Amino acid sequence: MTLVAPVSDILFLTTPIIFALLSSLVALGADRYPVLLRRVAFLLLGFAGLAAVINGTLVLIEHSAITGQLPLGLPWMNWHLRLDPLSAFFLIIVGLITTAVSLYGPGYTQEFEHGPYSLGVLGFFTGLFITGMMLVLLADDAFMFMVTWEIMSISSYFLVVYQHTNATNRRAAFLYLLLAHLGALSILLAFSILAGFGGDFTFAVMRDSQLTLTWSSLAFALGLFGFGMKAGLVPLHAWLPEAHPVAPSHISALMSGVMLKVAIYGLIRLVFDLLNTPHWSWGIILLLLGSSTAFLGILYALLQNDLKRLLAYSSIENVGIICIGLGLSLLFLTAGHRQIAALGMIAALYHTLNHALFKGLLFLGAGAILHTTHEQNLEQMGGLIHRIPVTAFFFLIGCLSISALPPFNGFVSEWLTFQTALQAPNFESGVLRAMIPLSAALLALTAALSATCFVKTFGLAFLGQPRSRPVRHARETKLGMKLAQGFLATLCLLFGIFPTSFIDLIEIIPQQLVGNGLPSASAGGWLWLTPIDPQVASYAAPLVLLSIIAVWLSAYFILRNTKKTRLTHPWDCGFGPLNARMQYTSTAFAMPIRRLFKPAWRVEEIIKDTKDETLYSQDIRYQLHISDRAWPILYEPLIYAMIWMARQVGRIQTGNIRTYLAYSFFTLLVLLWLIT
C-alpha cells in the first residue's frame, strides 16, 4: 500500500486506530472463546486508549499539526488525515474513556458469557465504534468525515440494540438510527455548501472559500442541526434518554462521555475553523439553545427514577453548558474581544473534558450497581454504601464533580463559564448586556438543580435501608471494574486541583481558532488560576483542598475528644422499628420541583381509591406519568407525516405484474433520455 506521506507520520496518526481495529477483529472469536474478549480484545482497547492519549498530548505540547494521506476514499481523492491541537484535545478524551472501559469491560461483560447475546457482536462493534470516533477526529476532508461519521453511528446502533429481545431496546435503537441519519444528512448539506464555494472536499480548501453571509448562515444552521442532534441539544434530544439507558453500561459511558463530545468537536470545527467569518447572531443562537438545553435537561433528570435515564438527561444538561461557553466565545469574538472569547472557549473545552470524566465515572458506577443488583430503578435501591462501599465512594466523587463542588473538576469549568459571562459590560449593545446575565442566572439555577438531582441520586441509591431483596444481597464488583472507576475519580480530582497546568496546555487551541490565548491564566503561578486578571478573580484549588482537609480533621479530633454519648435507636413514635417504607422515594423527593416547574413536563397523575360499603378506603394506588413536551410538539407530527407519506407511496404496490413491468419500462425510458 503506497502512502502519500512519511511513514512515521502515518504510523503516528494510525497507531490508536490499528489497536482498536485489532480489538474489533479479535473479538469476532469471542463466541467460541470468551477469553478472547476479556483478555485480548479489551487489552488491545487499552493500548488504543493509551496511544490516543500519548499522541494527543504530544501534539498539544509541540503546538504542531501532523498530516497524512491514505489511498482510500474517492478515485480522484485520497483520505486526508490531520491531527492538530483541536482534534488532539478530543483524541485525549476518547483515549481516557477508552482506557477506563478497557479496565471495566472484562468484569462487566462476563455476565453475558452464558446469555442469549453474542459476545463477538459486542466486542466487534465496540472496537469499530471507537475506531469510527477516532477517525472522525482525524478526518481532514468532508468525504472521510462523513464515511467515518457513519461508521460511528451504525456501530453504536448495533450496540444500543445489543440486547435485542427487549422491544424497548429495539424501539430506542431504531429512533437513534433514524435521527442519526437525519442529522448526518444535514451535516452533509453543510459540507456541500462549503465544497460548492471552494471547489473541493478538503478542509484546507474549505477554510479559504469565501461565502456570503446568507450561505454561511445556512451552513451554520445545517451544521448546528446535525451536530446538535448528535450532541443532544433541546429539542433535538429525544433519542438520547431512550438509547443511553438500554445500551450496556460501558457503552453508555462511551456514548455519553465520548460520542457526544465528537459532535461538539464537529460543531467547533465547522463554526470556528471552516466558517472563518462567524456572525454575532450565531453566538446568540448558541447561547439561547445552550441555556434552554442545560435548564430543561436537569429538570427532566430530576424527575427520573431510572438511574441510567437520569444520567442521560444530565448529559443533555452538560452539553447545554458547553454550548453556553461556545456561544459566549462567538459573541465576544465578533465584538472584537478576543481574549474574553478565548476564555469562553477554554471554559467550553474544559467542561467538555470534565463531563467526559465524571459522566463516564457515573455510568460505570451505574453499571456496577446494575451488575451486582440487576436493578436500575432508584425506587428499589437504598443502603448500598454498606454493601458496595468502594463503588459508593467513587460514585460520590462523580456526584460531587457533576454538582460543580470544589475541589473537583466540574467546579472549575463552570466557574470559568461564569467568569466569561461576567464580562458582559464590555459589550456596547444593551440587549447583550442584559441577555448574558440572564443566561448566567439560568446557569446558576441549573447548577443548584444539578446539586439537588445528585443529592437525590446518591441518597436514594446508597443511603438509608434497602428497598428490595437483590439490593439487600449486593456484593462488591470485580477489581477491574473498581480500578476503572478509581482511575476516572482520580482524574476528576486532579483536573480540579491543577487546572492551571492543563489550561496552559490547551491554550494553543483558542490561539488558533479565535486569535488569542489566556496569558493571565497562570500569571500567579501554578497555584492560582486567574482567567482575566489577578485583581479581578482568582481561584486556588490546592488551597481549597487543604482547607477542606483541615476542617474535616479538626471536626474529627473535636468529636473524638468530646464526651462519649450513648447511642440508641431513634424514637419511632410507637409504630415499630424503622423500615424502607418510611424513607423518601424518588418521586416524593422530586415532588416540590415538579410542582414548581409543572409546565415543563406533560404530567398525568392517577389516583385509584377503592372504597368499601362503609366508604372507607381499602386500597389506594398512585400512578405518575411524566413525558417530554418535545414529543407532541416536534416528533409526533413528524411521525404522522412520515406514516401518511409511506401510505401514499404504498399505493403504487398494486400486486399486478403488468403494472410493475410498466414501472420498469418507463423508468428505463427516462434513464435513456437523461443519458443521451
Position 287 pLDDT exceeds 90:
yes
Q: How confident is the model at residue 618 (pLDDT cuts 50, 70, 90)?
A: low
Angle formed at CA 627 by CA 624 and CA 633, multiple of 5 degrees: 145
Cell numbers representing residue 340 in the block: 474574553
Q: How are beta strands 601-611 and 617-628 bridged, if at all?
A: antiparallel
- Which residue type does 175 have? L
Q: How are beta strands 77-83 and 617-628 bridged, if at all?
A: unpaired
Position 119 pLDDT exceeds 50:
yes
Helix (H) or strand (E) holding 45: helix 42-62
Backbone angles phi, psi at 652, to 5 degrees: -70, -15
- Which residue type does 15 have? T
pLDDT digits (tens, 9 = 90+) for 456-466: 999 999 988 88
Q: How are beta strands 617-628 and 66-74 bridged, if at all?
A: unpaired
Cell numbers representing residue 623 in the block: 400512578
Q: How confident is the model at residue 1 (pLDDT cuts 50, 70, 90)?
A: very low
| Residue 58 neighbours by CB distance under 10 Å | 14
Amino acid 591: pLDDT: 82
At which residue does the C-alpha cell 470545527 appear?
269
Amino acid 658: pLDDT: 80
Q: For residues 293 and 653, which has the higher predicted lDDT (pLDDT)?
A: 293
At which residue does the C-alpha cell 442519526 appear?
180
CB contact at 8 A, 266 and 187: yes
Amino acid 520: pLDDT: 73
CB contact at 8 A, 473 and 394: no
CB contact at 8 A, 282 and 271: yes
What count of residues does the chain have?
Answer: 676
pLDDT digits (tens, 9 = 90+) for 321-360: 999 999 999 999 998 889 899 999 999 999 999 999 999 9
DSSP 237-278: -TTHHHHHHHS-HHHHHHIIIIIHHHHHHHHHIIIIIIS-S-
Percent of the chain with pLDDT over 90: 46
CB contact at 8 A, 176 and 247: no
Q: Is 72 helix (H, G, I), strand (E, B) or coil?
A: strand
Q: Return d(Cα 665, Cα 651) in angstroms, integer.
A: 19
| Residue 416 neighbours by CB distance under 10 Å | 27
Position 448 pLDDT exceeds 50:
yes
Amino acid 413: pLDDT: 92
Position 130 pLDDT exceeds 70:
yes
Share the mean pLDDT of the chain.
87
pLDDT digits (tens, 9 = 90+) for 352-398: 999 999 999 999 999 999 989 988 888 888 889 989 999 999 999 99
Amino acid 414: pLDDT: 93
Amino acid 615: pLDDT: 63
Q: What is residue 424's DSSP assignment?
A: G
Position 6 pLDDT exceeds 70:
no
Amino acid 98: pLDDT: 96
Q: Any idea which of 10-19, 503-512, 522-531 has the lowest mean pLDDT?
A: 522-531
Q: How confident is the model at residue 3 (pLDDT cuts 50, 70, 90)?
A: very low
Q: Return d(Cα 81, Cα 7) in angstroms, integer.
A: 13
| Burial status of residue 8 (CB atoms within 10 A of its CB: 0-12, 13-18, 19 or more) | exposed
Nearest to 281 by CA among 334, 345, 227: 334
Amino acid 159: pLDDT: 93
pLDDT digits (tens, 9 = 90+) for 205-237: 888 888 888 999 999 999 999 999 999 998 888
Tell if the pTM clears 0.85, that is, is over it. yes
Cell numbers representing residue 658 in the block: 403488468
Q: Return d(Cα 545, Cα 233) in angstroms, integer.
A: 34
Position 596 pLDDT exceeds 90:
no
CB contact at 8 A, 297 and 255: no
- Which residue type does 207 have? R
| Burial status of residue 373 (CB atoms within 10 A of its CB: 0-12, 13-18, 19 or more) | buried
Q: Return d(Cα 332, Cα 342) in angstroms, integer.
A: 9
| Burial status of residue 451 (CB atoms within 10 A of its CB: 0-12, 13-18, 19 or more) | middle
Q: Return d(Cα 456, Cα 301) in angstroms, integer.
A: 11
Q: How confident is the model at residue 575 (pLDDT cuts 50, 70, 90)?
A: low
End-to-end CA distance of the chain: 39
Q: What is residue 83's DSSP assignment?
A: E
| Residue 240 neighbours by CB distance under 10 Å | 28
Position 546 pLDDT exceeds 80:
yes
Amino acid 259: pLDDT: 94
Position 302 pLDDT exceeds 70:
yes
Average pLDDT, integer, range 266-286: 91
Nearest to 347 by CA among 282, 409, 300: 409
CB contact at 8 A, 173 and 162: no
Backbone angles phi, psi at 619, to 5 degrees: -155, 125
Whether the CA torsion 406, 408, 414, 415 is positive or negative: it is positive
